[in-house]
Amino acid sequence: MNLMQTQMAPPASVHNALDTIAYAIGESAIGDILAARSDIGVCAILIGSDADTLEQDLANRFPGKVLVEDEATLRDDLAAIARFIETPGAGLDLRLDMRHGTPFQQRVWDVLRAIPCGATITYTAVARRLGQPNGARAVATACAANAIALGIPCHRVVRADGTLSGYRWGIERKRALLDKEAGR
């Protein structure tokens, strides 16, 4: 059963485009990936082990939105994401919709997007760049709220001692992404 069909009452054509998010699920080297797109750009890249969990995560992140499965619209985005996972040095050039965060989260995400592929940064260093030297926990919370995995590379943020800490999509995926970016 497609979970999203149970949440869509009238057809998408009845709704304002701003209320509609198209999504599709594909496969990658680190698990299933869900890409979702608003009228502005990619608003979610979620990583997981099964489609139902990914669809529920999307629904939880965008309450009140009409979610429409649309593989044709997202085919190129899914291909770009899978390519990035395999060859991160090539970059991930997707137009992003980052409206779904607080102003502080958006500032954190902007800093994360400036971290070069293959590099890491600490939560404290991000907080300092934002002028909040004691804000490492707030930075970690902003990373956890990130719905656009890889597009907003929160996997590049590490503890002060350089070790890996929590990653919404699993520490093993974080390690795999960082190893791939470092050419290991």
pLDDT at residue 90 in the model: 85
pLDDT at residue 3 in the model: 38
Catalytic residue among 43, 117, 143, 154: 154
pLDDT digits (tens, 9 = 90+) for 88-117: 988 898 999 998 889 999 999 999 999 999
Nearby residues of 117 by Cβ (< 8 Å), 6 or more positions away: 88, 89, 91, 153, 181
pLDDT at residue 170 in the model: 85
Alpha-carbon gap, residue 62 to 80, rounded angstroms: 23
Active site residue 43: no
Alpha-carbon gap, residue 54 to 51, rounded angstroms: 5
pLDDT at residue 17 in the model: 56
pLDDT at residue 169 in the model: 85
pLDDT at residue 105 in the model: 95
Alpha-carbon gap, residue 17 to 131, rounded angstroms: 37
Mean pLDDT of 56-82: 95
Asked whether 157 and 121 are in contact (CB, 8 A), the reply is yes
- Looking at the chain, how many residues does it have? 184
pLDDT digits (tens, 9 = 90+) for 4-60: 333 433 444 444 556 899 999 999 999 999 999 999 999 999 999 999 999 999 999
pLDDT at residue 10 in the model: 42
Amino acid at 27: E
Higher pLDDT, 118 or 167: 118
DSSP state, residue 62? S
pLDDT digits (tens, 9 = 90+) for 129-165: 999 999 999 999 999 999 999 999 999 999 888 888 8
**Domains recognised in the chain with CATH numbers:** 3-90 (3.30.160.70), 103-181 (1.10.10.10)
CA distances to 123, 131, 139, 166 from 160, rounded to whole Å, are: 7, 17, 13, 13
pLDDT-based confidence at residue 2 (cuts at 50, 70, 90): very low
